[in-house]
Structure 1
Amino acid sequence: MKINRLKITNYRNIEELEVEPNSRLNLIFGPNGSGKTNLCEAIHFVSTGDNIKGSRQRELINWNSDYALVRLGLTNDDQVVVYLKEGEGKEIKINSKTGKQSELTSLVRTHTFIPEDLYISKGPPRRRRSLLNRHLSQLGEGYGQLLSEYNAELKKKNTLLKKDEINEEFLEVLSTRLVDLGARIIVRRVDYLDELNGLLPDIYGKFVGTDQELSLSYSEDGLAGTSEEEVKNNLSEKLERNREKELDRETSVVGPHRDKFEFFLDGKRLRTFGSQGELRTAVIATYLAYLELYERKYEDFPILVLDDILSELDRRRGEAFLENLPEEPQVFMTTATRSPSFRKLSGEFTVLKVAGGGVEKQ
């Protein structure tokens, strides 16, 4: 499944843009501020209903308009439209019928990679949790729904903990529910990490040319067990030990929303001992491993949206990334300059020159 037509109207600085993209590689070229990133954001927006950078809805609409629209056609003949009206929110149409945001991610399977993602290996734990959640929401059947249910119960518990008078019985009900949902989430994460770590060393070796053991694992104080029953028991015990802390802090401090993951290279914590190049290569290797697991599961690839990734890599790593990028998926890749790394590209590709919010095929 690929995008065969894309139309963007009044999305940020893009007033009107329509293009029939290449089914393989689309290099989106143009100076900074021309609208390259906005084009990538628009693809992510119509694929998920969300803005990748968490901007307010009004910021997505061109200042000369009161609405924004992104429309795409897919090679399976599906048509998707996301319409955003100032003060009214989103309207989603799937094949001319009203659709739900939850339907988009299964219909338009897109994976977006932004420059900030390269710093996941060194940033706070929530960024690595977010990485796993993004991967598992695409790969794990029902994981996204499971996570939504957990977050809904977590919100209820945190609201309850902030009240002056707490209903102890309701608190116990919520905690039990969170233990059950949390255990299922943790086991899914553990299983995914096992699969991921089976691929990471070989992929990492293609970048550095040496045999080194890269892994993404629960940190020492993060893992709560491996089987679902074991995780439930451990979470229940940990909740009991932290009961007073949760009451004092008025927030939940135990569960998968607090999980910690770390990259390790030859047994050493990469966040502490790794160079910038090693840290970034670890993230790229994880991304490529995810794509391989995706292809194994679906015998297909997601649409890849890569925003300015080469600018954050040195020439050697940039070339290695392009060499190891699978040939099958449709790719949208932005660049401000014609990088020397592009000489490593093989196969058919199209250059889309973006200027003044418009696009021209070259």
Structure 2
Amino acid sequence: MNIQRLILRDFRNLHACDLELTEGVHILCGENGQGKTNLLESIYILSNLSSFRSAHLKDLILYGATYGRILGRIRSGGVQKELMVFIREGGKIVKVNGHAVGRGVDYFGEFAALLFSPDSLKWVQGGPEFRRRFMDTAISRIDRNYLLQLKEYKRVLYQRNRLLRLIHESKAPRETLKAWNEQLVQTGSRILEKRLDYLRDLAPVLREVFKAFFQKAAEIRIQYHSSWFRIPKLNGAMADLSVWTGRFRQGIEQKEDEEVRQRTGLIGPHLDDLDFLVDGRPLKPGSSRGEMRMFAISLTLSEAKLYRNKKGRFPVLLLDDVTSELDRKRQEILCKQIESLGQVFLTTTDDSFVGKMKSCARIFQVQKGEIILVT
């Protein structure tokens, strides 16, 4: 999977950008604030229909312009297609090969782009919501049905929480909770099953990438923490779906009185978490920043490799400020890793790193919104 051509109009400070792109590594160099990350952001939006930097669409439009546009010509699995995201203050229009797409869920999966940015450290040092988002986004890229299941689970959870409040206020009979309990159990158990399957497949890939970066073998383990029962180690055959369903149902029955008192659901995959363990030690905020950064980079590269194992092609890889805080040895290892990962876009302000990559990458200089091919 790769972008063959990227055309931007009035996207942030990129007024008029038209790039012919190839397979391999593309390095965007230049001073901070010139537009390097803006280019990565445009590719990310073309994949995810949302920004990793701003929740407000108007922030994406060049100051003084009335709209912004991102157009990408994509080749995936031998098929070419044209994707377009038209951004205006009141919303966005999305098209595939000239045809409008009404729902984001129908678009998701047309083009996959994975991102590492400084915020990716939150997968390790942030709260549980960041690790859940990492899992759910990664699985949804591979399995669009999982995204639909997440949407259904959130709908059921919202309706059930609303009913819990009514029951607490004696405005609804408790018997009405049973149907919503069962819907939550069925959708929640399927989400848990797919999360565990994904993490089980991710762990050995992560182990190999981690070994390459740290030049030593380590026991890398991912421990999933369910909010309603203990999950065994993620290796070998996992329990049948009926086991998760039965335990979820039992947990809801045990927690029902407390949930009514607190007027909210207290168990389910929306409250789950996971730990990343290195030689049995969890990576936590107390770990060194360098260790956490390397682990977050390893997670991103591992996700890309697992995507290829599942889909038969690499996603586009976006690496924002990835060389920051890496010593020379780690930078060299990173170079070797990304050379074989399909199409990669990398931003850096490190001239020495750019010099090392000249022989195996296309170099673009970014200055005041202008993007110029150097080599």
TM-score (norm 2): 0.88
Offset, 1:309: 1.4
What's the counterpart of residue 234 of structure 2? none
Q: Distance in 1 between matches of 2:34 and 2:65?
A: 19
Residue equivalent to 1:338: 351
Is it true that 1:285 corresponds to 2:298 in the alignment?
Answer: yes
Cα shift at 1:167: 5.1
Q: Distance in 1 between matches of 2:339 and 2:308?
A: 10
CA RMSD between the two structures: 2.3
Provide closer, same or farther for how the CA distance between residues 180 and 312 of structure 1 changes in structure 2, counting only shifts above 3 A.
Answer: farther
The count of corresponding residues between Structure 1 and Structure 2 is 360
Q: 1:325 aligns with which of 335, 338, 357?
A: 338
Distance 1:146 1:211 in 2: 37
* 1:311 alignment counterpart: 324
Cα distance change, pair 141–68 in 1 and its aligned pair in 2 (3 A): closer
Mapped partners of 1:253, 1:144: distance in 2: 22
Structure 1 moving runs of 4+ over 6 Å:
none
Report the secondary structure of 1:216's partner residue. Answer: strand
Equivalent residue number for residue 93 of structure 1: 95
> Which residue number corresponds to residue 19 of structure 1?
19
**2:361 pairs with 1:361:** no
CA spacing shift, 1:198–1:337, aligned 2, 3 Å: closer
Where in structure 2 are there 5+ consecutive unaligned residues? 232-238
In the TM superposition, residue 341 of structure 1 has moved relative to its aligned partner by: 7.2
Contact 1:69/1:82 (CA < 8 Å) preserved in 2? yes
Structure 1 window deviating more from structure 2 (115-124 vs 136-145): it is 136-145
1:202 and 2:208 matched: yes
Q: Distance in 1 between matches of 2:225 and 2:181?
A: 24
Matched residue SS, 1:18: strand
SS in 2 for 1:62: coil
Counterparts of 1:302 and 1:278, CA distance in 2: 25
Aligned 1:36-115 pairs, distance under 5 A: 36-75=36-75, 76-87=79-90, 89-100=91-102, 101-115=104-118
Q: 1:224·1:234 contact (CA, 8 Å) conserved in 2?
A: no
Q: Does the 8 A contact of 1:304 with 1:331 survive in 2?
A: yes
**Pick aligned residue for 1:128 from 128, 131, 149:** 131
The answer for the alignment partner of 1:32 in structure 2 is: 32
Distance 1:7 1:131 in 2: 29
Q: 1:125, 1:261 within 8 Å by CA — same for their partners in 2?
A: yes
Q: Find 1:352's aligned residue among 346, 352, 364.
A: 364
Report Cα offsets for 1:175-208 as digits up to 9, x if no partner: 2111111111111111122212223333212222
What letter corresponds to residue 324 of structure 1 in structure 2? Q
Q: How far apart, CA to CA, are the structure 2 residues paired with 1:112 and 1:272? A: 22
Percent identity of paired positions between Structure 1 and Structure 2: 28
TM superposition shift of 1:43: 0.9
* AA partner of residue 181 (structure 1): T
Matches of 2:10 and 2:175, distance apart in 1: 51
Distance, in Å, in 1 between the alignment partners of 2:297 and 2:331 is 10
